[in-house]
Chain A
Amino acid sequence: DQQVKQNSPSLSVQEGRISILNCDYTNSMFDYFLWYKKYPAEGPTFLISISSIKDKNEDGRFTVFLNKSAKHLSLHIVPSQPGDSAVYFCAASHTGTASKLTFGTGTRLQVTL
Protein backbone atom coordinates (compact mmCIF):
# COMPACT_ATOMS: atom_id res chain seq x y z
CA ASP A 1 0.00 0.00 0.00
CA GLN A 2 1.77 3.09 -1.29
CA GLN A 3 0.81 5.89 1.10
CA VAL A 4 2.83 8.51 -0.76
CA LYS A 5 2.62 8.49 -4.54
CA GLN A 6 4.56 10.27 -7.22
CA ASN A 7 2.82 9.25 -10.40
CA SER A 8 5.24 10.85 -12.83
CA PRO A 9 8.50 8.88 -12.99
CA SER A 10 10.15 11.54 -15.09
CA LEU A 11 9.79 15.15 -16.21
CA SER A 12 11.72 17.18 -18.78
CA VAL A 13 11.71 20.99 -18.64
CA GLN A 14 13.61 23.66 -20.51
CA GLU A 15 16.05 25.85 -18.62
CA GLY A 16 14.35 29.00 -17.35
CA ARG A 17 10.87 27.46 -17.33
CA ILE A 18 8.86 26.29 -14.35
CA SER A 19 9.15 22.70 -13.12
CA ILE A 20 6.14 21.30 -11.28
CA LEU A 21 6.52 18.02 -9.43
CA ASN A 22 3.44 16.43 -7.93
CA CYS A 23 2.81 14.16 -4.98
CA ASP A 24 -0.33 12.56 -3.57
CA TYR A 25 -0.83 10.89 -0.23
CA THR A 26 -3.53 8.67 1.23
CA ASN A 27 -2.85 8.77 4.99
CA SER A 28 -4.85 11.63 6.53
CA MET A 29 -2.66 11.41 9.64
CA PHE A 30 0.33 12.88 7.79
CA ASP A 31 0.99 16.41 9.01
CA TYR A 32 4.50 17.18 7.83
CA PHE A 33 5.74 16.97 4.27
CA LEU A 34 9.21 17.27 2.80
CA TRP A 35 10.93 17.25 -0.56
CA TYR A 36 14.35 15.71 -0.99
CA LYS A 37 16.67 15.95 -3.96
CA LYS A 38 19.00 13.14 -4.94
CA TYR A 39 21.92 13.11 -7.33
CA PRO A 40 23.35 9.78 -8.58
CA ALA A 41 25.67 8.04 -6.12
CA GLU A 42 24.81 10.49 -3.35
CA GLY A 43 22.41 10.47 -0.42
CA PRO A 44 19.15 12.43 -0.55
CA THR A 45 19.46 16.03 0.58
CA PHE A 46 16.69 18.05 2.18
CA LEU A 47 15.16 20.70 -0.04
CA ILE A 48 12.04 22.19 1.52
CA SER A 49 9.24 21.23 3.89
CA ILE A 50 5.73 22.27 4.86
CA SER A 51 3.58 21.69 7.90
CA SER A 52 -0.09 20.83 7.51
CA ILE A 53 -1.05 24.12 9.17
CA LYS A 54 0.23 25.95 6.09
CA ASP A 55 -0.70 25.75 2.43
CA LYS A 56 2.46 27.28 0.99
CA ASN A 57 6.12 27.54 1.85
CA GLU A 58 8.71 29.33 -0.23
CA ASP A 59 12.50 29.21 -0.23
CA GLY A 60 14.19 31.05 -3.06
CA ARG A 61 13.36 29.33 -6.34
CA PHE A 62 11.51 26.52 -4.58
CA THR A 63 7.88 26.67 -3.45
CA VAL A 64 5.84 23.84 -2.00
CA PHE A 65 2.03 23.95 -2.09
CA LEU A 66 -0.18 21.77 0.08
CA ASN A 67 -3.84 21.02 -0.64
CA LYS A 68 -5.04 19.04 2.36
CA SER A 69 -8.54 18.44 1.09
CA ALA A 70 -7.14 16.83 -2.05
CA LYS A 71 -4.25 15.17 -0.18
CA HIS A 72 -1.93 16.66 -2.76
CA LEU A 73 1.27 18.62 -2.69
CA SER A 74 3.44 20.05 -5.39
CA LEU A 75 6.95 21.45 -5.70
CA HIS A 76 7.48 24.39 -8.04
CA ILE A 77 10.96 25.33 -9.22
CA VAL A 78 11.20 28.72 -10.92
CA PRO A 79 13.31 29.28 -12.93
CA SER A 80 14.61 25.78 -13.57
CA GLN A 81 18.37 25.38 -13.95
CA PRO A 82 20.47 22.52 -15.36
CA GLY A 83 21.83 21.86 -11.85
CA ASP A 84 18.29 21.04 -10.76
CA SER A 85 18.44 17.83 -12.79
CA ALA A 86 18.07 15.10 -10.18
CA VAL A 87 15.55 12.70 -8.67
CA TYR A 88 13.07 14.40 -6.35
CA PHE A 89 11.41 12.47 -3.55
CA CYS A 90 8.30 13.54 -1.73
CA ALA A 91 8.10 12.36 1.92
CA ALA A 92 5.58 12.59 4.74
CA SER A 93 5.38 11.94 8.46
CA HIS A 94 2.89 12.37 11.28
CA THR A 95 3.27 13.58 14.84
CA GLY A 96 2.92 10.16 16.42
CA THR A 97 5.89 8.72 14.57
CA ALA A 98 8.79 10.95 15.57
CA SER A 99 10.50 11.88 12.31
CA LYS A 100 9.91 8.57 10.52
CA LEU A 101 9.37 9.43 6.89
CA THR A 102 7.32 7.62 4.26
CA PHE A 103 8.71 8.29 0.79
CA GLY A 104 7.26 8.37 -2.67
CA THR A 105 8.96 6.57 -5.54
CA GLY A 106 10.59 9.70 -6.92
CA THR A 107 10.42 11.83 -10.07
CA ARG A 108 13.49 12.26 -12.26
CA LEU A 109 13.73 15.87 -13.42
CA GLN A 110 15.80 16.69 -16.48
CA VAL A 111 16.39 20.37 -17.16
CA THR A 112 17.49 20.88 -20.75
CA LEU A 113 19.36 23.80 -22.26
Chain B
Amino acid sequence: NAGVTQTPKFQVLKTGQSMTLQCAQDMNHNSMYWYRQDPGMGLRLIYYSASEGTTDKGEVPNGYNVSRLNKREFSLRLESAAPSQTSVYFCASSPWGAGNTIYFGEGSWLTVV
Protein backbone atom coordinates (compact mmCIF):
# COMPACT_ATOMS: atom_id res chain seq x y z
CA ASN B 1 0.00 0.00 0.00
CA ALA B 2 2.11 2.93 -1.31
CA GLY B 3 -0.01 5.91 -0.19
CA VAL B 4 1.87 9.12 -1.09
CA THR B 5 5.15 8.67 -2.96
CA GLN B 6 7.70 11.45 -3.47
CA THR B 7 10.82 11.54 -5.61
CA PRO B 8 13.68 12.23 -5.27
CA LYS B 9 14.31 11.57 -1.60
CA PHE B 10 17.57 13.54 -1.55
CA GLN B 11 18.89 16.25 -3.88
CA VAL B 12 21.71 18.77 -3.82
CA LEU B 13 21.36 21.76 -6.11
CA LYS B 14 23.54 24.70 -6.94
CA THR B 15 22.11 28.18 -6.59
CA GLY B 16 20.21 29.07 -9.75
CA GLN B 17 19.55 25.51 -10.87
CA SER B 18 16.04 24.27 -11.41
CA MET B 19 14.41 21.03 -10.41
CA THR B 20 11.03 19.37 -10.02
CA LEU B 21 9.83 17.31 -7.07
CA GLN B 22 7.40 14.63 -8.11
CA CYS B 23 4.50 13.35 -6.03
CA ALA B 24 1.90 10.67 -6.68
CA GLN B 25 -0.87 9.24 -4.52
CA ASP B 26 -2.85 6.05 -5.00
CA MET B 27 -5.69 6.73 -2.53
CA ASN B 28 -8.01 8.39 -5.08
CA HIS B 29 -7.84 11.64 -3.12
CA ASN B 30 -9.04 14.85 -4.69
CA SER B 31 -6.83 17.27 -2.77
CA MET B 32 -3.04 17.43 -2.75
CA TYR B 33 -0.53 19.66 -0.94
CA TRP B 34 3.11 20.64 -0.77
CA TYR B 35 4.56 21.61 2.62
CA ARG B 36 8.06 22.49 3.70
CA GLN B 37 9.53 21.88 7.12
CA ASP B 38 12.29 24.03 8.59
CA PRO B 39 13.81 23.89 12.07
CA GLY B 40 11.66 25.79 14.57
CA MET B 41 9.04 26.60 11.93
CA GLY B 42 6.83 23.54 11.83
CA LEU B 43 5.29 22.66 8.48
CA ARG B 44 4.29 25.50 6.18
CA LEU B 45 2.00 25.16 3.17
CA ILE B 46 3.58 26.12 -0.14
CA TYR B 47 0.80 25.30 -2.64
CA TYR B 48 -2.24 23.12 -2.68
CA SER B 49 -4.69 21.69 -5.19
CA ALA B 50 -8.19 21.28 -3.82
CA SER B 51 -9.21 19.22 -6.83
CA GLU B 52 -7.88 18.22 -10.23
CA GLY B 53 -7.49 21.28 -12.42
CA THR B 54 -7.11 23.80 -9.59
CA THR B 55 -4.09 25.09 -7.70
CA ASP B 56 -3.78 27.79 -5.05
CA LYS B 57 -1.02 29.50 -3.13
CA GLY B 58 -0.38 28.62 0.46
CA GLU B 59 1.58 30.46 3.11
CA VAL B 60 5.03 30.46 1.42
CA PRO B 61 4.59 30.19 -2.40
CA ASN B 62 7.38 32.53 -3.56
CA GLY B 63 10.03 30.81 -5.67
CA TYR B 64 7.84 27.78 -6.45
CA ASN B 65 5.43 26.64 -9.12
CA VAL B 66 3.16 23.61 -9.14
CA SER B 67 1.37 21.44 -11.66
CA ARG B 68 -1.57 19.16 -10.96
CA LEU B 69 -0.86 16.77 -13.81
CA ASN B 70 -3.88 14.55 -13.14
CA LYS B 71 -5.78 13.31 -10.10
CA ARG B 72 -2.84 11.22 -8.91
CA GLU B 73 0.11 13.54 -9.49
CA PHE B 74 1.13 16.95 -8.13
CA SER B 75 4.61 18.30 -8.86
CA LEU B 76 6.55 21.16 -7.28
CA ARG B 77 9.08 23.10 -9.36
CA LEU B 78 11.91 25.34 -8.23
CA GLU B 79 12.78 27.50 -11.24
CA SER B 80 15.92 29.10 -9.81
CA ALA B 81 16.93 27.50 -6.53
CA ALA B 82 18.14 29.67 -3.65
CA PRO B 83 19.86 28.65 -0.38
CA SER B 84 16.71 29.76 1.48
CA GLN B 85 14.91 26.86 -0.22
CA THR B 86 17.08 24.32 1.59
CA SER B 87 14.44 22.37 3.45
CA VAL B 88 12.53 19.12 3.78
CA TYR B 89 9.57 19.00 1.43
CA PHE B 90 6.47 16.93 2.10
CA CYS B 91 3.75 16.10 -0.35
CA ALA B 92 0.36 15.17 1.08
CA SER B 93 -3.14 14.27 -0.04
CA SER B 94 -6.65 14.12 1.39
CA PRO B 95 -10.24 13.57 0.37
CA TRP B 96 -11.92 16.78 -0.72
CA GLY B 97 -13.58 18.95 1.88
CA ALA B 98 -13.01 20.26 5.36
CA GLY B 99 -12.45 18.03 8.33
CA ASN B 100 -10.48 15.41 6.48
CA THR B 101 -7.21 13.87 7.51
CA ILE B 102 -4.18 14.71 5.38
CA TYR B 103 -1.78 11.87 4.57
CA PHE B 104 1.89 12.67 4.05
CA GLY B 105 4.68 11.23 1.97
CA GLU B 106 8.07 10.43 3.47
CA GLY B 107 9.72 13.70 2.50
CA SER B 108 12.34 15.02 0.08
CA TRP B 109 15.54 16.50 1.51
CA LEU B 110 16.74 19.38 -0.64
CA THR B 111 20.01 21.26 -0.13
CA VAL B 112 20.83 24.33 -2.19
CA VAL B 113 24.51 25.36 -2.08
Tell me whether A41 is interfacial, beta carbon within 8 Å.
yes
Q: In the complex the two chains form, what is the Cα distance from A9 to B41 in whole Å?
A: 11
Tell me whether A18 is interfacial, beta carbon within 8 Å.
no
Count of chain A residues near B, Cβ 8 A: 31
Least CB distance, A31 to chain B, in whole angstroms: 8
Neighbour of B42 across the interface among A51, A99, A105, CB < 8 A: A105
Least CB distance, A113 to chain B, in whole angstroms: 28
Tell me whether B78 is interfacial, beta carbon within 8 Å.
no
Q: Are A41 and B107 touching (Cβ within 8 A)?
A: yes
Q: Which residues of A contact B43 (CB under 8 A)?
A: 44, 89, 91, 101, 103
Tell me whether B74 is interfacial, beta carbon within 8 Å.
no
Tell me whether A73 is interfacial, beta carbon within 8 Å.
no
Q: Are B33 and A105 touching (Cβ within 8 A)?
A: no
Q: Are A106 and B102 touching (Cβ within 8 A)?
A: no
Which residues does B use to contact A, with CB under 8 Å?
Answer: 4, 31, 33, 35, 40-45, 48, 50, 58-59, 90, 92, 94-107
Other than the given A42-B106, A98-B48, A101-B43, 15 more pairs (CB < 8 A) read A4-B42, A6-B42, A32-B98, A32-B99, A43-B92, A43-B104, A46-B103, A93-B98, A93-B99, A98-B94, A99-B96, A99-B100, A100-B45, A101-B102, A105-B41
